[in-house]
Each structure stands twice: as C-alpha cells, then as structure tokens.
A = this chain, B = another copy of it.
Amino acid sequence: MTPSTAGPAPSDAAPGSPADSPLVRAARQQPVPFTPVWFMRQAGRSLPEYREVRQGVPMLQACRTPDLVAEITLQPVRRHGVDAAIFFSDIVVPLQAVGVDLDIVPGTGPVVAEPFRTRADLDRLPELDPAAIEDIAEAVRLTVAELGGTPLIGFAGAPFTLASYLVEGGPSRHHEHTKALMHRDPGLWHDLCARLAQISAAFLRVQVGAGASAVQLFDSWVGALSRADYVTHVQPHSRTVLEGVADLGVPRIHFGVGTGELLADMAEAGTEVIGVDYRLTLTEAVRRTGGRYAVQGNLDPALLFAPWEPLERRVREIVAEGREAPGHIFNLGHGVLPDTDPTVLTRVVELVHEISAR
C-alpha cells in the first residue's frame, strides 16, 4: 500500500480549499508553507468553553446533537488557530448507533451492559446503516460550513480497540478477555472484527461524504499486543477499514499509543500518515516505516505541564526532525490531558508556525 492510492492529486485542489490546506498537503507529501499542527483531544475538557457547553449534557447525548458537536469541534480551531478540526465524537458512538446497550460513565469511560464473548453475541452487532447516523452527517455539514479552508478530520476507532471495549465490557488495562477470545476462537474473533471493520468504515464514509477532508483511525489500545498477534489477528481488519475509505480521495491517518514495535505494520495496513507516539523519535519512525509515509506527532502531552523553556526546546527538536520526514503534521504523541493549560497549546501552535515557515 503506497500513499499514491489516496485519491486525486493535490494539483486538482482549489487554492485555499481544505483539499489544498497544509494538513492535506503534508499528508500527501507535498510542499507546505509551514508545518500544520493540531492536537489529539484538542476538543474537550482542557477548554473552559467546552466544559460550559457540556454542563448537564451526558457525553453520548452530546455526541448525537449536531449543533453541539459542531460547536465543540470548532472551539479549539477558534481558540488555538490549529490547522485542522477533529470531529468531536466518542469511539463507541457507532456501536451505540447499531444498538449496543452501552453508556459513557464519567470518570470510567464506556461501559457495555453485556460484554461480547460468544458467537450468539454477534447477533447484537448488526451492520451500520448510514441512515442511522444522519445526525453525524448533519454535524459534519454544520462544522464544515464554518471551517472555511480549514480541513475537518473524520474520526473512528479501529476494530481491535472497539472489540476490546465490547469484550471487556469497558476500558481495560490488560485486555485479557479480548486476547483470550482471540486465541480461544480465532474464527469468532475474525467475524467480530469483520463486523466492526464494516461499522468503522461506514462511520468514516458518512463523515467524508458530508465534507471531512481527511480521516484518522484511532487504534488506541493496540500497543498492548505483540507484533505476532497484531499481524495475524488485527492488521487484516484495520486494513479493511482503511481500504474501505481509499476510494474517497482523502488522506488517512493511522494512530495508536505505544506502537513502536507495530509501526511498520500499522503503516502497511493502508495509510498516508502514520501517527507516532512520543516514545519514539520521528526520525526513528521514518526509518521504521521505510521513509514512505508522512508522520504525525509527537510531543509528550505531559511536557505541556513543564515550563516554556524545556517545552519550546522539545517543540523545536520535533519540527527539525519533521523536516527530514516525507511529510510532517505536528501533533502530540497522545491526547491532550484534561488539566492542560489551554494557553500553552495556543503558544505551541504559534511557535510551530513561526519556526516552520518556509
């Protein structure tokens, strides 16, 4: 899978349109006027304006209310001047949309009423019909209408991470029931992940269809796997998702936490941009992926709690390393932590733009 599969050449893009934006151009390994920057979890609890609009609104309800989703998605673009919006949602929203009985419990995360562990449980996981998420399409349209030339990145969870929530019944540190199922009944595991791949791809297709200019597939938990398990049991299903959106002509970003050992396999699942954890240098990430992919990352979000001087030093190092990559989108190596001072994020955006200007 080479980057060239991702749709029309950038020369087709109208100047100033999202398809001609620094983010999309960097993803396509095209020249950019400066290094584009956005932050995973830039929309969310670090922003007072987010906490205000979320008051009294449960997470899943927020994710299914188009004008609220659009407002939350736009907030960090307005405040920080980032070069992309990331569609505000939760990884389990498409599971809820197909009828899985789940809730998002504050302080815990997604909780699935009845964990999925048998073949009979597959009956509780129908395919995702785009008509069931018309509110998602509407939220994307509202957002894109406000964004102008700034691209919106569509969001979905990858099959392994979705499966872990379903099999464990919620967030898990060790994923033991998920791994046990994978090895106990590989046939059931593959059928479960094939279903989840359809759901994930359909969720992304709806967002691109409504105007998203890129997509990011989050495999949050996949760093918990050995490489052998990843290649046999997970990569084929992530590939289904990524290939399932390849015809849409938007660049794809593939990211997971703690994935140094899996990076080449995740890239080869079919992506233009490989997201890099802060544990690995961008230089090493480029080496491990054969210099064939743009990279995204990789500031340690904990460094945002340090004083400006060491933070600035690290940002400069990352921008310098990114210059040697085929393409570079500046980001964190993990999501924004809730207690982060948002003024620091704004300052990082300004610094990246300033020092990377060509």
Residues of B within 8 A of A191 (CB): none
A174 interfacial contact with B, CB 8 Å: yes
Which of the segments A63-71, A82-90, A135-143, A177-185 contacts the partner chain? A177-185
Q: Considering residues A179, A260, A281, A339, which has the most beta carbons from chain B within 10 angstroms of its beta carbon?
A: A179
Count of chain A residues near B, Cβ 8 A: 36
Q: Which of B225, B226, B227, B306 is close to A180, meaning CB atoms less than 8 Å apart?
A: B306
Bound-complex Cα distance A219 to B225 (A): 21
A272 interfacial contact with B, CB 8 Å: no
Q: From known contacts A226-B279, A278-B226, A300-B226, infer whether A306 and B179 are also in contact, taking CB-CB under 8 Å.
A: yes
Q: From known contacts A175-B302, A226-B300, A260-B260, infer whether A183 and B307 are also in contact, taking CB-CB under 8 Å.
A: yes
Q: From known contacts A226-B300, A302-B174, infer whether A307 and B184 are also in contact, taking CB-CB under 8 Å.
A: yes
Q: Which of B176, B182, B278 is close to A337, meaning CB atoms less than 8 Å apart?
A: B176
Q: From known contacts A226-B279, A278-B226, infer whether A179 and B261 are also in contact, taking CB-CB under 8 Å.
A: no
Task: Name 12 extra pairs, CB < 8 A, besides A183-B303, A183-B307, A226-B300.
Answer: A174-B302, A174-B334, A176-B339, A178-B302, A179-B300, A184-B306, A225-B279, A226-B278, A226-B281, A227-B279, A227-B281, A228-B281
Binding site for B on A (CB under 8 A): 174-180, 182-184, 223, 225-229, 258, 260-261, 278-281, 300-307, 310-311, 334, 337, 339
Nearest 3 interchain pairs by C-beta:
A180-B305, A183-B306, A176-B302
